[in-house]
Amino acid sequence: MPASPLHLDTPLFRTSTAYSASNRPLWLKLDAVQPSGSFKLRGVGRLCQHEVENGAREIFCASGGNAGIAAAYAGRALGIPVTIVVPQTTSEEVRQSIAATGATVLVHGSVFDEANAHAIRLAAERKAAYVHPFDHPLLWEGHGTLIDEVVSGGADFDCVIASVGGGGLLAGIVAGLKRNGLSHVPVIAVETEGAASFHASIVAGQRITLPAITSIATSLGARQVAQHVFDLPKEHPIETVTVTDAEAVSACLKFADAYRILVEPACGAALAVADVHPDLLARFKTPLIEVCGGIGVSLEKLKAWKERLL
Same domain for 193 and 247, yes or no, is yes
* Residue numbers of the domain that contains 55: 40-131
CATH of the domain at 70: 3.40.50.1100
- Domain C-terminal end among 108, 131, 154: 131
Same domain for 96 and 173, yes or no, is no
Whether the pLDDT of residue 1 is over 70: the answer is no
DSSP 213-269: --SS-GGG--SS--HHHHHGGGTS-EEEEEE-HHHHHHHHHHHHHHHS----HHHHH
- What is the per-residue pLDDT across 72-116, written as a single tens digit (0 to 9) for each? 999 999 999 999 999 888 889 989 999 999 999 999 998 888 999
Same domain for 66 and 181, yes or no, is no
Q: Cα(132)–Cα(146) distance, rounded to whole angstroms?
A: 20
Same domain for 110 and 179, yes or no, is no
Same domain for 113 and 214, yes or no, is no
- Comparing C-alpha atoms, which of 123, 78, 128, 75 is closest to residue 103? 75
Highest-pLDDT range among 44-53, 110-119, 214-223: 44-53
- Domain C-terminal end among 87, 115, 131: 131
Domains in the chain: how many in total? Answer: 2
Same domain for 233 and 108, yes or no, is no
Same domain for 55 and 122, yes or no, is yes
- What is the per-residue pLDDT across 175-215, written as a single tens digit (0 to 9) for each? 999 999 999 999 999 999 999 999 999 999 999 999 988 99
Q: Are strands 59-62 and 82-86 parallel, antiparallel or unpaired?
A: parallel
When the pLDDT of each residue in the chain is averaged and rounded to a whole number, the result is: 95
- Domain C-terminal end among 112, 131, 150: 131
DSSP category for residue 38: B
